[in-house]
Amino acid sequence: MMVFNDIILENLKKGLTSWFALSLIFTTACTTTEDKIESADIKTHEVTTNSKVKQQEKVLTLKKLELKDFLHYAYQHNPDLASKEFRVSAARERVSQVNTLPDPRITYGYFFEEVQTRTGPQEQTLGVSQTFPWFGKLSLKEKQQIYEIDIAQEHYIDTKLAIGEKVSKSFYEYIYLKESLIISQDHLDLLKLFEDTVNARVETAEATQADLLQLQIESSQIKDRILQMKSLRNVLSSKLLNTIGTDEKGIIPWPTHERNLLSPTDYKEIVPMLDELNPKLRRLDLLKQKEEVTLEVKDKDYYPDITLGLETIDVDGGDNPVRGTVSFNIPIWRSKLDAAKRESELEIESLNREAENLRNMLYADIEYKIFQYNDALRKQKLYKDELIPKAEQTMELILTSYKTGEKSFDEVYDVINKLLDFKLAETREYTNAEVYNAGLIRLIGFQHRYLEVSHEQN
């Protein structure tokens, strides 16, 4: 595992950190609006669970947590990950089982008819023997089992990455709901301010009652959307709790989440790292190496195992003679041994083809995921840096012109709704980028790391 971690850190130092960097940037909403959302009809419910979990994990719902806290909890409590960890431990225990000699054999014989000798009758015999596998066979079997440990470890890493992706996606969707609520509440406040302006113009006959009714309909729709999102919070909270492996019930307080300084990445930066980092590819490579060792073991099967022994005969009234014995098996069934070798050779070729196919599929998936990731960042940047600022400037100008009668109600109404759409779209695209980023981490094989890297160039 040290080699695995060193590979990751080495590649991070070479520049890939620009992709996964976690520097902090400006969030999308002000604190006051967030406080409104938190203190409105969405009240944090106390979590109910069994006494053991309540004593150990009650903190989960009593303070605002970050993504790394949810991941840490999931890694500690997910039963599937725990089962993979036990498999690693079980594989370690098998090493001492395969690198030791077979049990010694004790033989006892009794003469139903005594054999008469000049020193006395022979009554019984006792012997002990030990079989020694051909030279190097035990060490090769030990090497096989060490590969089994590494294979089990790759299963563990793959499961951990899958859990990390699942938890991250649930977390990001929960945060998106929070930001959408804030944006919608801000929009509703803006509509109320505009409604006051329209109402004043209606009283002076400078606007129609239809304009006011249209604005009130829009406000009612936004209120309904907010109520829907509030109801959805309970669903997404339960989903996040289930994902991290707890039986707790209730609504999680809004977690702490500051936008990371994500930046576009290049497909060419990722491909060279895939064989060293992806646990599925590493597992296939380890299986191939193990099968190559198995082939060496089968080569040893052409040679006999040697058994050494000692035997004594109990002579009544005389000295008990002791003799040494040497025996060995004769591996004469060559067709069986040849077939066993061909089996391993074919298995190695099969693993090579399987790895090639998996690698091609991963390349295609990663390339498409990188496209989605970069495209989401491009759209988010477009909304954040261009469309939203221009829409806000346009709204200010049109509102001022509307008060003087230079702009119509429909023009103001359209730009206000367009600003809402832009803000929601910007938040959605950034969430999409985070979700795609989590998928890339899983596909490539990066373990979750929280590196605070400063990117002054951005």
- Asked if pLDDT for residue 392 goes beyond 60, the answer is yes
Give pLDDT, residue 64.
63
Give pLDDT, residue 324.
94
Q: Which of 24-28, 368-372, 406-410, 427-431 has the lowest mean pLDDT?
A: 24-28
From 4, 18, 60, select the one nearest 283 (Cα to Cα): 4
Cα–Cα distances in angstroms (integers) from residue 148 to residues 83, 222, 272, 276, in the given order: 16, 58, 26, 18
From 59, 88, 83, 60, select the one nearest 244 (Cα to Cα): 60
Q: What is the mean pLDDT of residues 376-398?
A: 94
Q: What is the mean pLDDT of residues 190-198?
A: 88
Residue 342 CB coordination number (10 Å): 12
pLDDT (tens digit, 9 = 90+) per residue, 299-348? 999 999 999 999 998 887 778 889 999 999 999 999 999 999 999 999 99
Separation of alpha carbons 75 and 69, rounded Å: 10
Give pLDDT, residue 20.
32
Separation of alpha carbons 393 and 422, rounded Å: 13
Give pLDDT, residue 261.
63
Give pLDDT, residue 267.
67
- Asked if pLDDT for residue 55 goes beyond 60, the answer is no
Give pLDDT, residue 405.
83
For the chain, give the mean pLDDT: 82
Q: What is the mean pLDDT of residues 53-58?
A: 44
Q: What is the mean pLDDT of residues 397-403?
A: 87
Give residue 9's pLDDT band: very low, low, confident or very high (50, 70, 90).
very low
Give pLDDT, residue 43.
37
Residue pair 20/437 in contact (Cβ under 8 Å)? The answer is yes
DSSP 456: T
112 against 152, higher pLDDT? 152
Domain ranges (residues) in the chain: 14-98+158-275+339-444
Give pLDDT, residue 199.
85
Give pLDDT, residue 194.
87
Tokens of 326: 């040497």
Q: What is the mean pLDDT of residues 90-114?
A: 91
SS3 310: strand
Tokens of 397: 């100008």
Give pLDDT, residue 297.
95
Give pLDDT, residue 11.
39
- Asked if pLDDT for residue 59 goes beyond 60, the answer is no
- Domain 14-98+158-275+339-444 in this protein, CATH class: mainly alpha
- Asked if pLDDT for residue 46 goes beyond 60, the answer is no
- Asked if pLDDT for residue 447 goes beyond 70, the answer is no
Give pLDDT, residue 49.
39
One-letter amino acid at 74 equals A
Residue pair 304/329 in contact (Cβ under 8 Å)? The answer is yes
C-alpha angle 143-145-151 in degrees, rounded to nearest 5:
110
Give pLDDT, residue 63.
61
Give residue 138's pLDDT band: very low, low, confident or very high (50, 70, 90).
very high
- Asked if pLDDT for residue 284 goes beyond 90, the answer is yes
Q: What is the mean pLDDT of residues 171-179?
A: 96
50 against 119, higher pLDDT? 119
Phi, psi at 63, each rounded to 5°? -150, 160
SS3 25: coil
Q: Which of 74-88, 197-211, 294-308, 426-440 has the lowest mean pLDDT?
A: 197-211
153 against 248, higher pLDDT? 153
One-letter amino acid at 325 equals T
Give residue 28's pLDDT band: very low, low, confident or very high (50, 70, 90).
very low
